[in-house]
Amino acid sequence: MIVPCIDLMGGKVVQLVQGREKALEGAEPLEMLRRFAAFPQIQVIDLDAAIGTGSNDELVELLARHATCRVGGGVRSAARARKLIEQGAYRVIVGTAAFDRPVLEEIAAEIGPQRIVIALDSKHGRIVIKGWRESVPLTAEQVIQDLELFCSGFLCTYVDKEGMLQGTDLDWFRRLRAATGHEITAAGGITTIEEIEELRRLDIHAALGMAIYKGRLNLEHLAERFASTL
């Protein structure tokens, strides 16, 4: 499955390089949904909430009411997870809180593991949290099985290549695929059809951002070529 990404910052659709430098601004949120209409799920990340500088709640709710969205960014309490579900989110992406076991247990109890996608974001081989601003001394491969009980899938981002249009690390995704039977969505630097094809062979979904915003991957072509996996 192809999962187009809508990242929100300061009330606008943006794309960042490695979660820090803003590279571009996209169209209005509903226009982006129109462009992504051929795809069954959209990934929405509130970057301001992720780094603790604010929120884009109104836009998140707008998007979640008009499309099937998995929503993340700043989900660090059961109350926040519940609010996103009430705003229309189909699934909730939990990152930082996945490494605070009591909070993760509360979130899973509140909305159910089937509504949770756990984000395993990796930079320089270590998991990064709090909007990719801090690292923990663990690898995704070390923790992925231990977290299966609390979610229905994983969003695994190779931060080293995020937004750089230089390709991703397929070997990392192969290792993750070998470590879990849960659904995996790959993100971070995916730039070519060949990478998407290899991920599909691994039974891994592809979350796409910069490559489609910059036109390196054509949305109509993706919808036609991967129609059977949508």
- Active site residues per annotation: 7, 121
Measuring CA to CA, how many Å separate 159 from each of 2, 41, 78, 163, 164? 19, 22, 26, 9, 10
Token code pair at residue 131:
């909007």
**Residue 68 to residue 89: CA distance in whole angstroms:** 7
CA–CA gap between residue 167 and residue 185 (Å, rounded): 16
- Three-class DSSP labels, 57-81: HHHHHHHHHHCCEEEECCCCCHHHH
Give the CA distances from residue 230 to residues 138, 173, 197, 227, in Å, rounded to whole numbers and listed in that order. 33, 20, 13, 5
Vertex 35: Cα angle to 29 and 38 (nearest 5) = 125
